[in-house]
Amino acid sequence: MIIELSNTEKEQLEIQHKTERDRRVADRIKAVLLNTEGWSQKQIAQALRIRYETVQDHLNDYKKLKKLKPENGGSKSQLSFEQTEELIQHLETNTYLNAGFICAYVDQNFGVKFTVSGMTKWLLHNNFSYKKPKGTPAKADPEKQKEFIVQYQKLLNETPEDEPIEFADAVHPTMATKVTQGWIRKGTNKPIATTASKTRVNLLGSINLETMNVTIAPHETIDGKAMRKHFKSLRKKYPKALKIHLITDRGSYNVSAETKKAAHEFGIILHPLPPYSPNLNPIERLWKVMNEQVRNNRVFKNAQEFRKVILEFFTHTWPKIALSMTDRINDNFQTLKKVSSG
């Protein structure tokens, strides 16, 4: 979303921002001005330390209604500043299925009564939204992930320009229908034919984040032999490189003696990710893009069509859209927090 302002409108907003005492209004003004200067919604959210969805709401409000002043949401029941901060911290750690449970928690711990509608308004007012939490490997170690990021930055800074760095992974898309959310007219159901076929394609690939070029091929089995073939393809891709750096997870085929021997033969330097760290492997997001483009809500006539569509995504579609995907597939890693069981 891009908001276009005249020079006069921008000057008026700048003046209003300098005199505005309400921080919420000031944040809305900054969001609008930064948007007109070419900042992405993600960058604005990071700069203002607010949620991405909040930035989106601010921009929508201004573009449609020229609205800068927030509504007075929330319940009339009074929570002190300290209680509000404590409740926010509690809700960031614990996930509740409905607002009624939060009302009970507040009543029990603070002696303040909320209606469900009042609590819903309070939640929206404090930048909470009802959505599905992101699944996180329970055994992931945030400290080891931070160490890897430091090592990766060192690798980027110290590696010669003629030594490429790629992120590798295997993926096994199946022919079974992958039903996902989409825009459907209100009051209607949109049936989609499904199949539970277990037919699948075993793909091994790697991506160069600098060029967004992907090297990928199907294999009967992902093992040391498949890794050797991939190394051979990389060496053909970078014939003059003294070394090729490949970042992988710790799957058995990535750490086997056969793979290590082949890596040495082809001048491949293997860099293992910390255990349980898919968030540190950008190629994982490529698989998601593939699903969005050719698998989601789609039924394939037969195995031949399925395999053809999957492979054509990488040979035909990806080269056309690759450079437009740098905002999704990149090394702006998000480290994991300690996972709550709540």
74-85 average pLDDT score = 71
- How does residue 137 score in pLDDT terms, banded at 50, 70 and 90? low
- Encode pLDDT of 239-289 as tens digits: 999 999 999 999 999 999 999 999 999 999 999 999 988 899 999 999 999
Q: Are 200 and 174 in contact (CB under 8 A)?
A: yes
- Encode pLDDT of 18-27 as tens digits: 888 888 888 9
For residue 272, list its beta bridge partners.
248
Top-ranked range on mean pLDDT: pick from 19-33, 137-151, 232-246, 292-306 = 232-246
SS3 content of the chain, % helix, strand, coil (to 5): 50, 10, 40
Give Cβ neighbours of residue 43 (< 8 Å, ≥ 6 apart).
34
For residue 171, list its beta bridge partners.
203
Q: Residue 240: how many CB atoms within 10 A of its CB?
A: 5
Q: Is the pLDDT of residue 224 over 60?
A: yes
Token pair in block for residue 217: 């091929």
Average pLDDT, the chain: 87
295-322 average pLDDT score = 92
Confidence (pLDDT) at 64: 81
Confidence (pLDDT) at 74: 42
Confidence (pLDDT) at 135: 52
**Residue among 332, 313, 330 at smallest CA distance from 321:** 313
Token pair in block for residue 194: 């499904």
For residue 178, list its beta bridge partners.
296
User: In terms of C-beta distances under 8 Å and separation of at least 24 residues, what long-range contacts does 134-137 make, across chains too?
Assistant: 136/336, 136/339, 137/276, 137/277, 137/278, 137/336
- How does residue 124 score in pLDDT terms, banded at 50, 70 and 90? confident
Backbone dihedral region for residue 125 (phi beyond 0: left; psi -120 to 50: alpha; all else: beta):
alpha
Confidence (pLDDT) at 317: 95
Q: Is the pLDDT of residue 338 over 90?
A: no
The residue with greater pLDDT, 12 or 265, is 265
- Encode pLDDT of 194-214 as tens digits: 566 788 999 999 999 999 999
Q: Is the pLDDT of residue 216 over 90?
A: yes
CA distance 259 to 43: 40
User: What CA–CA distances, in Å, run from 245 to 154, 279, 323?
Assistant: 13, 19, 22
Q: Are 20 and 26 in contact (CB under 8 A)?
A: yes
Which one-letter DSSP state was computed for residue 162?
Answer: T
- How does residue 75 score in pLDDT terms, banded at 50, 70 and 90? very low
Query: Which ranges of 159-302 does DSSP label H, i.e. alpha helix?
Result: 224-237, 252-255, 257-266, 283-290
Which one-letter DSSP state was computed for residue 200?
Answer: B
47-66 average pLDDT score = 85
Q: Are 62 and 25 in contact (CB under 8 A)?
A: no
CA torsion 159→162→165→171, rounded to 10°? -170
CA torsion 126→180→205→213, rounded to 10°? -70
CA distance 280 to 278: 5
38-57 average pLDDT score = 87
